[in-house]
Amino acid sequence: MKLTKEQIDQFNRDGYLFFPSHFKPEEVKTLTEAVPEIYARREAYNVRERGSDAVRTNFAAHMYSKPFAKLARHPRMVQPIEELFGEQLYMHQFKINGKMAFEGDVWQWHQDYGTWLNDDMMPEPRAMNVAIFLDEVNEFNGPLIFIPGSHRDGVVDASHDTTTTSYPLWTVNNQLITQLVQRAGGLNGGIISPKGPPGSMMLFHGCLLHASSSNLSPWNRNTCYLSLCAVSNHIRRFKRPEYIAHRDFTPIECLPDDCLLNDYPVDLPWKDGMPASALETSLDILKEAA
């Protein structure tokens, strides 16, 4: 998949690209059918909402689920980012965010690169997220919201919020958000929210400020997020467990375009269980040395 000059210009200007119905319903079905069994697992990689059994975030499904392992190597997802960065990529993070009906909590205003820099020591914002809608995303079920063009400010001041939700996040204060929204157009486009059917895909810059409200609707909003990083820009610190921030910097080799509908061999290193090493961090190693 090749981007047009207009799409590249739009990405540089706004910090995101949106592709409605990028994957066919039958392709998405292979993914959604695998989600309930993944969410049912009692593993550290399933982070649940505070005070609820609903999954907030599932990590690293591509390491033990064949449908998601194939998605992680899909050319429709990998190739546009390789084109934007001009080099091969590795999988920095793989998430399925389960903003479940009535229970999905907020995600505060943040930049993903803020976390990648502060926690993982990723040198530059040469990484970005791909969001693939597994459910319809509408105005009622907590869609992502963005401040267009906010990526051009680079890394902004943030504080580590460990209390608002069940997942810690480097968040941006309301005053700065207000200023950036006004600069981007205020009520006339200062905040945007791409919505669409299952199979829609969104690419967005690691510095693009984004958030989402709670899901008060009766409809789930499961979304797969793949964070792809330029190989030369790999992380330098292992502060977070490997199931959250991956340490294998091997370039992704794409499968054929029909991989979600046909059987292709993929490596599933955690299919028999996540290894204990995936829970270890460099902080653990330092403690042992002391």
Q: Output the 3-class SS for 57-86.
A: EEECHHHCCHHHHHHCCCHHHHHHHHHHHC
**Domain 5-289: assigned CATH number:** 2.60.120.620
Distances 259 to 1, 91, 199 between C-alpha atoms, Å: 15, 18, 15
Domain residue spans of the chain = 5-289
Q: Is 281 helix (H, G, I), strand (E, B) or coil?
A: coil
Beta bridge partners of 46: 58
Helices (H), 86-192: 112-118, 174-184
Whether the model pTM is above 0.85:
yes
What string of pLDDT tens digits covers the 290 residues of the chain?
Answer: 789 999 999 999 999 999 999 999 999 999 999 999 999 999 999 999 888 898 999 999 999 999 999 999 999 999 999 999 999 999 999 999 998 999 888 888 999 998 899 899 999 999 999 999 999 999 999 999 999 999 998 888 778 767 677 677 788 888 999 999 999 999 999 999 999 999 999 999 999 999 999 999 999 999 999 999 999 999 999 999 999 999 999 999 999 999 999 999 999 999 999 999 999 998 654 444 43
